[in-house]
Homo-oligomer: A and B are copies of this chain.
Amino acid sequence: MRYSDYKKVLKKHHLRITDSRIDVLERFYNTIHALSFKDLEDQLEGYDRVTLYRTLNSFIDQGIIHRIPNDTGSACYGICFETCTPEQHYHNHIHFKCIKCGYIDCLPDTHIPLIDLPGYEIIDSNLIINGICKDCKKNAN
C-alpha cells in the first residue's frame, strides 16, 4: 500500500489526512500482529502520546481498527477487514494470543461459533484463544 492508498482509506472513513493517521495506518497494514499502544509509541517516535491515543480512538470510531480485550490491562488493536463502517463494527473473527511471544493475531479466516443463550440478546462476541503460535512451536526445537 502506498500513501495514496492510505489517503483513500482515511477519506472513506471520513477522517482528515494527517501525518500521524497515515503513519499509524501504515503500521497496521504492515504488521501481521495486533498492535498495542506501546508498540505504536515505540515504532512512531516523534508523535505525542496524546496524538497517538486520539488517532487510535478516531480509527475505532470510524471502523478502521477494533479493540481486542486483553486480561493484562493494556489494550491491543487490530485492523478491521473490509466489513466495518463508521456505523458499526462487523467482525467476528477469532483472536489468538501466544503465551510465548506475546503477540496477538487476528485470524481472518475464522469465525466465532454462534451461541444460543436463551433470554439474552446477543450483539457481538469476542473469542480470544491462548496458546502457542506456529512460529513459536517451530522455534521450540
- Listed in ascending order, the chain A residues whose CB lies under 8 Å from chain B are 67-71, 73-75, 94, 96, 99, 107, 110, 112-113, 115, 117, 119-134, 137
Residues on B with beta carbons closer than 8 Å to the beta carbon of A71: 67-70, 75, 126
Cα–Cα, bound, A69→B99 (Å): 15
Cα–Cα, bound, A132→B119 (Å): 9
On whether the beta carbons of A137 and B110 are closer than 8 Å, the reply is no
Residues on B with beta carbons closer than 8 Å to the beta carbon of A67: 71
Residues on B with beta carbons closer than 8 Å to the beta carbon of A122: 129-131
Residues on B with beta carbons closer than 8 Å to the beta carbon of A107: 117
Residues on B with beta carbons closer than 8 Å to the beta carbon of A137: 119-121
Residues on B with beta carbons closer than 8 Å to the beta carbon of A96: 117, 120
A–B pairs, 22, beta carbons within 8 Å: A69-B126, A70-B71, A107-B117, A110-B115, A113-B113, A113-B115, A115-B129, A117-B129, A117-B131, A119-B134, A119-B137, A120-B131, A120-B133, A121-B131, A122-B131, A123-B130, A123-B131, A124-B130, A124-B131, A125-B129, A126-B126, A127-B127
